[in-house]
Structure 1
Amino acid sequence: MTTSPTQAADQTVTSYSVSGMTCGHCVSSVTTEVSKLPGVADVDVDLASGTVTVTSHAPLEEAAVAAAVTEAGYELVPAAEAEPSAGSCCGTCH
């Protein structure tokens, strides 16, 4: 579900796999919701890989990140189960 957090200069960087993202609107939704978590300094979403990389001032609870991703309409998944985005769209880009 996540890669091991790394710490540099009082910040923690953790990557998560997210399923269901298919377009720029999906990226924006996930970025917006995860950015609302206390302590988050930066969110980088890679649509092609379904990876969300979060930089925070302290380690985040995975459950909090999962809840934010769920609020955006997507799902945090184990990396081994993540599939490349293909096929259906969220409907916004039509």
Structure 2
Amino acid sequence: MSCCSSEGHHSDGGTDIAFAAGITTVYTVTGMTCGHCEQSISAAVSAMDGVQAVKADAATGLVTVVSTAEPSDALIGAAIGNAGYTLSGRASAHAH
């Protein structure tokens, strides 16, 4: 379930955040189409214990989570699901 119109329009309130030192995990999420979607997912995941920072990017479908310990994919998936989106899994590691 998306928060956007069928055309995917909504104001973009996304901002970049500075990630704290911790464990960084990147997830692929479906259903994100705008800044409001990014905010909804970020708020849901940020409320979880141990989460230090969250960056959701509708353009790529990626959600980056920085946490104090290895995150539970099931709990992250539940938080994203409760916000109305679907966690597809962890994103492939990117070579730097």
TM-score (norm 2): 0.70
Residue 39 of structure 1 is matched in structure 2 by 50
Number of aligned residues: 72
Identity rate of aligned residues, in percent?
47
Instruction: Return 5+ residue gaps in structure 1 as ranges.
Output: 1-7, 81-94
* Selected match of 1:56 from 67, 72, 89: 67
Off by >4 Å, runs of 4+ in structure 1: none
CA RMSD in angstroms comes to 1.7
Instruction: Return 5+ residue gaps in structure 2 as ranges.
Output: 1-19
TM-score (norm 1): 0.71
* 3-state SS in 2 of match to 1:59: coil
Residue 14 of structure 1 is matched in structure 2 by 25
Residue 67 of structure 1 is matched in structure 2 by 78
How far apart are residue 45 of structure 1 and its match? 0.8
Is residue 29 of structure 1 aligned with residue 40 of structure 2?
A: yes
